[in-house]
Amino acid sequence: MLITIPDVFSPDEVRALRAALDGADWEDGRQTAGVQSAQTKRNHQLPATCDVGRDLGQSILERLSQTPLFLSAALPLRILPPMFNRYETGEAFGVHVDNAIRSNPFNGEPLRTDLSMTLFLSEPDEYDGGELIVEDHYGPQTVKLPAGHMVLYPSTSLHEVRPVTRGARVSSFFWLQSMVRSDMQRSILFDLDQTIQTLADGLGADNDHVRRLTGIYHNMIRQWTEV
């Protein structure tokens, strides 16, 4: 399931992030591609452990830790430090699947990639092309979000970034290991949690049925999580 998290950062906050990124030293994205994806990957990235990337990545993780919709959708166990990429005119990343295991560049800790994330840092009218296309159960989904919005999709999905034909597409991309490995189970929990929130808004969190449903949600979490 694809999930969009709107307004992770405001337009002013995106402008500050972009000012730091636009002055940074970018490198050829193929340096961090696997053997298979190096052939289809044409973009630029910030080095994984550079100061600018580390500081901005930290601010993204802090923001996500305070974003209830993200926490409900992802149920994160561990999140890799966010990375940053830039596609200029003629650059693209052909159809590929992300590596199942990645290691944290700062401490070497391994992580299973359950969810892939893209936080858009360019407005859609700044560039043509550059759509993220994700294959899911319902066929290919095209994603091109306003700056400051984010998409989560299962890391099992085939996906690509279409060629940019004008301007530049800047984004942050990263992965997480969820407490719930199954995309289906995670989707059910997300749906239930969002429904409980809606009911609680209408009926009050102290409504007996809302309380019972909340108990059911937590009991399902106990059954389905690995921590």
Binding site for Ni ion (CB under 5 A): 98
Residue whose CB is less far from Ni ion, 98 or 131? 98
What is the number of alpha carbons within 13 Å of residue 88 lying toward its C-beta? Answer: 7
Task: Let me know: does 110 contact 175? Beta carbons within 8 Å.
Answer: no
Q: How far is the CB of 96 from Ni ion (least distance, A)?
A: 6
Q: How far is the CB of 37 from Ni ion (least distance, A)?
A: 7
Q: Which is nearer to Ni ion, 98 or 193 (CB)?
A: 98
Nearest to 80 by CA among 53, 109, 100, 52: 109
CA dist 211 and 197 (Å) reads 11
Shortest distance in whole angstroms from residue 209 CB to Ni ion: 42
Q: Give 47's contacts (C-beta < 8 A, 6+ positions apart).
A: 25, 27, 53
- 11's tokens: 């337009």
- Of 91 and 98, nearer to Ni ion (C-beta) is 98
Residues in CB range of 118: below 8 A, 6 or more apart? 132, 143, 150, 151, 171, 172, 173
CB of 173 to Ni ion, least distance (A): 7
CB of 159 to Ni ion, least distance (A): 6
Cβ of residue 41: shortest distance to Ni ion, in angstroms?
9
Q: What are phi and psi of 215, to 5 degrees?
A: -65, -40
Whole-angstrom distance between the N-terminal and C-terminal Cα of the chain? 22
- Are 199 and 152 in contact by the 8 Å Cβ rule? The answer is no
Of 152 and 189, the one with the shorter C-beta distance to Ni ion is 152
Please identify, using beta-carbon distances, which residue of 96 and 214 lies nearer to Ni ion. 96
The residue number with the shortest CB distance to Ni ion is: 98
Phi, psi for residue 39 in degrees, rounded to 5: -75, -20
Smaller CB distance to Ni ion: residue 93 or 190? 93
What is the rounded CA–CA span in Å between residue 59 and residue 35? 31
Identify which of residues 164 and 210 has a Cβ nearer to Ni ion in the complex.
164
Smallest distance, Å, CB 160 to Ni ion? 8
